[in-house]
Amino acid sequence: MRILCTNDDGIHARGLAFSAELCAGLGEVSTVAPDREQSATSHSLTLYRPLRATGRGERRWDVDGTPTDCVLLALGQLLPQRPDVVVSGVNHGPNMGEDVLYSGTVSAAMEALSLGVPAVALSFAGRDLEHLPSHRPRLERLLQSILTHLPFPADTLFNVNLPPIPGDQILGVRTTVLGSRVYEGSIQKTRDPWGRDIYWVGGGRINWSGGEHSDFQAVADGYISVTPLHLDLTHYSQLDSVRKWKLEA
């Protein structure tokens, strides 16, 4: 099996080394990752400047672009053969609820899926990666068991979040839905050195909601969360009622 590893934390990130090493036990790994941190770049694509891919060893490149650029270049130019699966992460931090919309980690997986390659996004739902190495046996088993279902159902990628606890304390795996999160106080208004107002987005307090089946609840309970995601954002259950509006133009 050919596995492409990528991420949004950059080629030097600890989570990427971890997943590449883990995946090497499952197949032939190639790595194409951003040359620097690209977290929260979502699905952005670099159009108005050229991209450079620099070889960093056997089947390993960094790209001066976004995670989406990396997947696009990997599949379109760099890899001699298409991978069987793309593994994105392990991200340094959670990607649950609405954060999947901002996440470069999840977007790399979405890009792979939109190019017809099955994909799994991996995130560690904690601030420091201290416990990540202890997750290896469980994550290896989980990836193996997910990959036995290749080819995945159409238009499906898997979003995995690991709880920030030692691996041997994890209680199991839950299949979940996306929860919801609200940031509080995450826009700081301050002044630049010239006294002008500036705003800095980040930090603050995160509150989450979501039922017993949500990704947040699973991770809070000490389970690995696996959420199947799809790319089609059409709100099918609303189609009939919106059709009844008889919109005119």
What is the smallest separation between the CB atom of 8 and Mn ion, expressed in angstroms? 4
Give whichever of 39 and 42 is closer to Mn ion, judged by the CB atom: 39
Give whichever of 36 and 149 is closer to Mn ion, judged by the CB atom: 36
What is the smallest separation between the CB atom of 36 and Mn ion, expressed in angstroms? 11
Q: Which helix (H) or strand (E) holds 240?
A: helix 236-243
Question: Do the Cβ atoms of 202 and 128 come closer than 8 Å?
Answer: no
Determine if the peptide bond prior to 151 is cis (ω within 30°): yes
Q: Rounded CA gap, 126 and 111, in Å? A: 25
Which position's Cβ is nearest Mn ion? 39
The footprint of Mn ion (CB under 5 A) covers 8-9, 39, 91
Q: What is the dihedral of CA 197, 199, 200, 206, to 10 degrees?
A: 130
Question: Do the Cβ atoms of 206 and 200 come closer than 8 Å?
Answer: no
Give whichever of 9 and 99 is closer to Mn ion, judged by the CB atom: 9
Give whichever of 102 and 152 is closer to Mn ion, judged by the CB atom: 102
Residue 53 CB neighbour total at 10 angstroms? 18
Q: Where are the beta strands (DSSP E) in 24-111?
A: 28-34, 53-55, 60-63, 85-92
Give whichever of 12 and 213 is closer to Mn ion, judged by the CB atom: 12
What is the smallest separation between the CB atom of 112 and Mn ion, expressed in angstroms? 17
Whole-Å CA distances, 94 to 56, 84, 102: 28, 25, 11
Give whichever of 8 and 215 is closer to Mn ion, judged by the CB atom: 8
What is the smallest separation between the CB atom of 132 and Mn ion, expressed in angstroms? 14
